[in-house]
Amino acid sequence: MRFLITGGAGFIGSHLADRLLKKGHRVLVIDDLSTGSIRNIKHLKENSAFSYVIDNVMNSPLMAELIDEADAVFHLAAAVGVRLIVESPVHTIETNVSGTETVLKMASKKKRPVLVASSSEVYGQSTKFPFTEDGNLVLGATVKSRWSYACSKAIDEFLALAYQKERGLPTVVARLFNTVGPRQTGRYGMVIPTFVKQALTNSPITVYGDGEQTRCFCHVADTVAGLEALLTNETAYGGVFNIGSTEEVSMNTLAEKIKDTCNSNSPIKHIPYDEAYEEGFEDMQRRIPSIEKIHDLIHWSPKRTLKVILSDVINNVRNQLS
């Protein structure tokens, strides 16, 4: 098959390209490199089944041409990272909503199946754990720019499902929970690569808030396996599926684990949210998915533990620092 990956030079997109090429597919990537990096796909340039374009997904004529060449589309292009979202809410909303609208509109003309990557952020302040796909979304106030990302991704989901219902476009929505692994950068606030780099350089490991907030981390290799399985299974079309790990860990425990694994002398320093991001910043205390729906349909569940994830990230960051 021929796959188009928007945001394909990003952390997740580049791993997805790796997987698809290894399975004998052809892959075309588009990325504007706003948060992606050409380094992530440099190793693929010599592969005759791989090609890439540096441009924005809001370029409608170009997207029409690229989608015409593809059999199916993974739409991963989006604003990413809490820091970027807080600092650039206009960019966040425009990139996510307008970009998704362009992809769906162009794909609809050719009836190319589209997987839209959403986020666990859409669950917002919900306290009904674990999060299920049919659960209510509880977003914060509009005066808090932190929630602009969650709202924009929820609109992406509504758009995808509307195109399926009204225009017959095969779509599937994947709500990604914290995905980590090699190539991920801490530049935009991703916690594990940030903690690892701090630990390896014996700098203070900076934990935001009281550190008791919990997350579930999924290895990128497991995540992209789920993405491929969803888009290539027609019974998934019209559905919304969580993709994530259910192995829950607090930020305090995570910091200690990384410090110990790295044999680091780093002190662990707590920083108030107001100082880390902006005054009145609100966070999700827990973020844990139910993965029963995706497991029942395509028998997907993560295979790699947090211990494996940390080992892979630590080795990757060590190589970058050497």
The full DSSP string for 128-181 is -SSB-TTSPPB---TT-GGGHHHHHHHHHHHHHHHHHHHH---EEEEEE--EE-
| 149 classed as catalytic | yes
pLDDT confidence tier of residue 80, bands split at 50, 70 and 90:
confident
Write out pLDDT tens, residues 7-53: 999 999 999 999 999 999 999 999 999 889 999 999 999 999 999 99
Q: Encoding tokens for residue 274?
A: 């107001």
Q: Quick check: 82 and 144 in contact, CB under 8 A? A: no
Q: Which domains, and CATH codes, for the chain?
A: 2-178+220-245+288-303 (3.40.50.720)
In the predicted model, is pLDDT for residue 189 greater than 90?
Answer: no
In the predicted model, is pLDDT for residue 192 greater than 80?
Answer: yes
Tell me the mean pLDDT in the region 184-200. Answer: 89
Tell me the mean pLDDT in the region 127-140. Answer: 96
In the predicted model, is pLDDT for residue 83 greater than 80?
Answer: no
Give pTM, 2 decimals: 0.96
**CA dihedral of residues 77, 130, 214, 37 (deg, nearest 10):** -10
Rounded Cα distance between 236 and 229, Å, is 9
Q: Encoding tokens for residue 209?
A: 């808030």
**Whose CA is closest to 252, among 239, 269, 228, 237?**
269
Task: Indicate which residue of 52, 149, 208, 277 is catalytic.
Answer: 149
Q: Return the number of other C-beta atoms located less than 10 Å from residue 315's C-beta.
A: 12
Q: What pLDDT does 146 receive?
A: 82
Q: What pLDDT does 188 receive?
A: 65
In the predicted model, is pLDDT for residue 81 greater than 80?
Answer: no
In the predicted model, is pLDDT for residue 143 greater than 80?
Answer: yes
pLDDT confidence tier of residue 84, bands split at 50, 70 and 90:
low
Q: Encoding tokens for residue 17?
A: 């390209």
Q: Quick check: 157 and 115 in contact, CB under 8 A? A: no
Strand-pair category, 214-216 with 248-250:
antiparallel
